[in-house]
Structure 1
Amino acid sequence: MQAIRRLVAHHALTPGDKLPSIRKFARDMAVSPSTVVEAYDRLAAEGLIRSRLGSGFYVLANAVAPRTADVAPPIDRAVDPFWVSRQSLDAGREMLRPGCGWLPPDWMPLAAIRRAMRAVAKTDDAVLVEYGSTRGSLALRRLLARQCLSEGIEIGAEQVLLTMSGTHAIDLICRHLLRPGDTVLVDDPCYFNFRALLQVHSVRIVGVPYTPAGPDIALFEEALAAHRPRLYLTNSALHNPTGASLSPQTAHRLLTAAAANDVTIVEDEIFADFEPEPSARLAALDGLNRVIRIGSFSKTLSASIRCGYIAAREDLIDSLIDLQLAIGFGGPSPVAAELVLRTLGDGSYTKHLNGLRVRLARRRREMIAELAKLDVRPWTLPRGGFYLWCQLPRATDASDVATRALREGVVLAPGNVFSVTQTATEFMRFNVAQMDSDVLKRLQRALEQPAIPSLP
């Protein structure tokens, strides 16, 4: 294959030229004819050559295409939710990413995933090549329903719908319940992609200040009366970005206010498994009457195996099935669902979670101590998870620091990308699992550098 590529690159073979016969090339390369057949087949699959029945193999006209490198995300665009997502996802392996929202590969259950992949490769042919059912894997939905039952939420598998991701789950709910111009309440600060997704749906976004015990309930009630929202979108367990946990008192008042104002609550449970002990859950207190639970496995299992879920009233699930069919002809890949099922069912997964909690607790303590040396202080002390929501020193603009840090090879997540009201200028979200001494040194340089002048 390399020999043919060199001949094409040096124009010894040009578009339209016939390649040497299989037997001749096998003699020239001192390999078997079957090896040449496989090499030619692979080159054809790459689009370098093609076969003409009974005639041989020929170089394609577009074989010598210009090579282009991946385009890096622009540094000088507005620092908004899309800026953080692009920088985090498109960063090269040499970039340090304490601003991203996932754990490093060596923190994940790689051995269990590989065992699951080997098992899935031997499973029924239909799983490997056919569409899945409209609700997704029954076995995985039963497992998720049992998890809900362990929290006191009495549901069956028919009240669980598998989706292509947690974000896809929110998108389905928004498509079904919202119309352009509707109002949605979010926490301020909130997960930045909530803002990005809601903007796509052309709705009005209203932020409610978040406290260490949950949303400011007095201001939440005022927002309900003033704006008449259709939805409230939140994380209850280990809130993103603050790491705070909802108190039972706040949860009770929140549900009472939502019921009085006919507001549907979407509770994102993606960080729940990082808690050492479960905090108050809106879905458990409400029984999935007014609350819709969503989640995925990207934080504890794999962001590459795309599979999320929705747990809700059966009538809502039925409507969402039709919507998911219309826009995607079903939910997650049956292969992805089977991988999740087999990994969650592996006895090692519980040990993995227990180990993660211990390891993260130790890393949080270490990073809190190291950040304090830079006069960077956490807003609250999370009970679990991998985020620290920190205030920077001396009225520092976090967006300026993030831009300077990017030039140091570090991707950060500045506060205002999480804030609807843009009142988190001095805050930064740090992923402690992605931090080490090198990150801290570069962060210190970014904090000490003068601000970058804004573009005209």
Structure 2
Amino acid sequence: MTNTISPRKAGVTELNAAVPQTLSRQSGESLVEQIVRSVETRIDDKLLRTGARMPSIRQFADTHRVSRFTVVEAYDRLVAKGFLESRRGSGFYVRERSPMLATNAASPRASEAPPPHLDVVWLVRSMFRQNPQQKMPGSGLLPVDWLDGELVANALRAISRQNQNLLLQYGNPQGFLPLRQQLQLKLAELEIAATPDQIVTTSGVTQALDIVARHFLQPGDTIFVDDPAWFLMFGSFALLGAKVVGIPRLPDGPDVAQLAELAALHKPKLYVINSVLHNPTSTSLSAAKAFQILKIAEQHDFTIVEDDIYCDMHPGSAIQPATRIAALDQLNRVIYLGGFSKTLAANLRVGFIATSEDMAKRLSDRKMLSTLTTSDLGERTVYKILSEGHYRKHVDRLRSKLDGVRDKTAKQLERVGLTVDIAPPAGMFLWVDAGCDTNVLTERGMEHGYLLAPGSLFSPSQLPSTRMRLNVGYMHDVGILRFFEREIGSLS
């Protein structure tokens, strides 16, 4: 006599293969997320075969003591992600996974060998793929656990309870007006006078730089940057056909003699500069240098783009003065950029441009033609945090954390063979000398799971360098220090 399995018993067997018998209500994951993750894993591990029928919604809910709504949502998510298919009147079945889908699913976890010559694209791509995030001493962001997720989440929840129709429409092309009014107050504290009509919101400082560059530059034009400087803009400007020229950066600002000489030679359209907590050295511009830069710009008729993304990491006290060129110029020849990705959340992507009213209108039109508007939801979130006074306390805590680890980190690095010849009093970066080719050091770091930022990437010339940028927020891992001590000793 042939043994047969009843449909009910077959369903129970499939159910046991689908998810663990107990779902946790105390974990950080919702019940829906736990079900989805468990089914995905069992399909990937071939424990659920292609074509297998999933338990019915009622059966799944009864067995695992969850609501039918929970099961419906989990199944719907698995269908949307390509793991299951729904057959009307029949149920849910395991879908055949194409090779392309399997490759794409695995790619975020895959490691990528460095190219023969390290470049900016490789570093940025590696930054987004790096896991765990704690092993990123070359990162340009603070660790997630240093930030205040609850602050952002509370603001988002409050906004979601407002008129929901506002969240379904385009925002204002120039930006959410109450946020621009709040930014007017913020700029006034920096002694920069700007009305809301002089401010344009952007998707971070990255977009702000792109909008300004596209407005001013034609193929063949020259743009000045600091050397070293934030590497991402080099490739962006080059794609516009611009010639990127580096101005040597000193502890108190650029080499003004070189700036004057190169300005006479190249006749640049723009000069992009970090005035406060320069990336990667965390040094700030002196008042004397700021005045000299402005005079050279007037003499050679170029516009200064002042990137002040690290503004709020500087205490702004009399002990540590910080000079903005925009405060001297009052937005006549200076275009001022700011944002909140470094202090609130990189994912909010809220930045802004402050300039003359006429230029703000033109840049707003350019923004509108390329992206229509920026995220009104993100701008409302930042406005709520700024206007309710929470932001000021938050950045005070961030500065305190950085102050608590900066000097200690510098001493630890000196002990393992790195030279810290610039000791900034604020900021999150140290610009250190490894005494060896940091491209080679970076390649070895990737072999051990550490993402480093070699000095070559911070110069328009991209030449090998013994310098590298380190983020003090990620230096608590003793494994990183051991790596430096071992590898620097072998390379020196």
Shorter-chain TM-score above 0.5 = yes
Q: Quick one: distance in 2 between partners of 1:64 and 1:283?
A: 55
Report which stretch shifted further, 397-406 or 228-237: 397-406
Report the counterpart of residue 122 of structure 2 in structure 1. Answer: 83
Contact 1:187 1:233 in 2 (8 A): yes
Q: Kindly state the Cα deviation for residue 85 of structure 1 after the two structures are TM-superposed.
A: 1.6
Q: Kindly state the Cα deviation for residue 347 of structure 1 after the two structures are TM-superposed.
A: 2.9
Report the counterpart of residue 22 of structure 2 in structure 1. Answer: none
Q: Quick one: distance in 1 between partners of 2:273 and 2:469?
A: 17
Q: Kindly state the Cα deviation for residue 335 of structure 1 after the two structures are TM-superposed.
A: 1.3
Report the counterpart of residue 299 of structure 1 in structure 2. Answer: 342
Q: 1:2-35 CA distances to partner (integer Å, 9 max, x unpaired)?
A: 3687699567662xx9877766777888877656
Q: Quick one: distance in 2 between partners of 1:26 and 1:177?
A: 61
**Aligned: 1:368 with 2:410:** yes
Report the counterpart of residue 343 of structure 1 in structure 2. Answer: 385
Report the counterpart of residue 411 of structure 1 in structure 2. Answer: 451
Secondary structure in 2 matching 1:114: helix
Q: Quick one: distance in 2 between partners of 1:19 and 1:388?
A: 55
Corresponding residue to 2:240 among 184, 187, 201: 201
Corresponding residue to 2:490 among 431, 435, 449: 449
Structure 1 residues 320 and 448, CA gap change in structure 2 (3 angstroms) = same
Report the counterpart of residue 428 of structure 2 in structure 1. Answer: 386
Q: Kindly state the Cα deviation for residue 138 of structure 1 after the two structures are TM-superposed.
A: 0.8
Q: Match of 2:487, as an amino acid?
A: A
Q: Kindly state the Cα deviation for residue 84 of structure 1 after the two structures are TM-superposed.
A: 2.2
Report the counterpart of residue 210 of structure 1 in structure 2. Answer: 249
**Aligned: 1:286 with 2:325:** no
Contact 2:222 2:243 in 1 (8 A): yes
Instruction: Kindly report which structure 2 residues correspond to 1:51-200, keeping only aligned pairs within 5 A, or say none.
Output: 55-57=89-91, 59=93, 62=96, 67-68=102-103, 69-70=106-107, 71-93=110-132, 96-200=135-239
**Aligned: 1:309 with 2:352:** yes
Q: Match of 1:444, as an amino acid?
A: E
**Aligned: 1:427 with 2:467:** yes
Secondary structure in 2 matching 1:304: helix
Q: Kindly state the Cα deviation for residue 43 of structure 1 after the two structures are TM-superposed.
A: 3.8
Q: Quick one: distance in 1 between partners of 2:256 and 2:309?
A: 23
Q: Kindly state the Cα deviation for residue 358 of structure 1 after the two structures are TM-superposed.
A: 2.2
Corresponding residue to 1:359 among 389, 401, 408: 401
Q: Kindly state the Cα deviation for residue 239 of structure 1 after the two structures are TM-superposed.
A: 0.7
Report which stretch shifted further, 226-235 or 18-27: 18-27
Q: Match of 2:480, as an amino acid?
A: V
Q: Kindly state the Cα deviation for residue 337 of structure 1 after the two structures are TM-superposed.
A: 1.0
Structure 1 residues 58 and 418, CA gap change in structure 2 (3 angstroms) = same
How many positions carry a matched residue from both structures?
445
Q: Kindly state the Cα deviation for residue 448 of structure 1 after the two structures are TM-superposed.
A: 2.5
Report which stretch shifted further, 42-51 or 226-235: 42-51
Q: Quick one: distance in 2 between partners of 1:46 and 1:189?
A: 43
Secondary structure in 1 matching 2:229: coil
5+ long unaligned stretches in structure 2? 1-14, 20-38
Q: Kindly state the Cα deviation for residue 411 of structure 1 after the two structures are TM-superposed.
A: 1.1
Q: Match of 2:368, as an amino acid?
A: L
Q: Quick one: distance in 2 between partners of 1:161 and 1:135?
A: 5
Contact 2:223 2:242 in 1 (8 A): yes
Q: 1:31-57 CA distances to partner (integer Å, 9 max, x unpaired)?
A: 77656544543443334455566x454
Q: Which structure is richer in relative contact order (CA contacts within 8 A, separation 6 or more)? A: 1
Structure 1 residues 127 and 63, CA gap change in structure 2 (3 angstroms) = farther
Contact 1:192 1:418 in 2 (8 A): yes
Structure 1 residues 208 and 31, CA gap change in structure 2 (3 angstroms) = closer
**Aligned: 1:248 with 2:287:** yes
Contact 2:226 2:247 in 1 (8 A): yes
Contact 1:258 1:264 in 2 (8 A): yes
Structure 1 residues 10 and 209, CA gap change in structure 2 (3 angstroms) = closer
Structure 1 residues 286 and 29, CA gap change in structure 2 (3 angstroms) = closer
Report which stretch shifted further, 42-51 or 83-92: 42-51
Secondary structure in 2 matching 1:448: helix
Give the structure with the higher percent helix: 2
Report the counterpart of residue 76 of structure 2 in structure 1. Answer: 41
Q: Quick one: distance in 2 between partners of 1:249 and 1:94?
A: 40
Report which stretch shifted further, 251-260 or 103-112: 103-112
Instruction: Kindly report which structure 2 residues correspond to 1:252-263, keeping only aligned pairs within 5 A, or say none.
Output: 252-263=291-302
Secondary structure in 1 matching 2:306: strand
Q: Quick one: distance in 2 between partners of 1:410 and 1:7?
A: 32
Secondary structure in 2 matching 1:241: coil
Contact 1:382 1:388 in 2 (8 A): yes
Q: Kindly state the Cα deviation for residue 111 of structure 1 after the two structures are TM-superposed.
A: 2.5
5+ long unaligned stretches in structure 1? 452-456
Report the counterpart of residue 454 of structure 1 in structure 2. Answer: none
Q: Quick one: distance in 2 between partners of 1:13 and 1:80?
A: 42
Q: CA RMSD in A?
A: 2.7
Structure 1 residues 295 and 25, CA gap change in structure 2 (3 angstroms) = closer
Q: 1:186-235 CA distances to partner (integer Å, 9 max, x unpaired)?
A: 11111111212212222101111111111100110001000011110110
Q: Quick one: distance in 2 between partners of 1:376 and 1:207?
A: 25
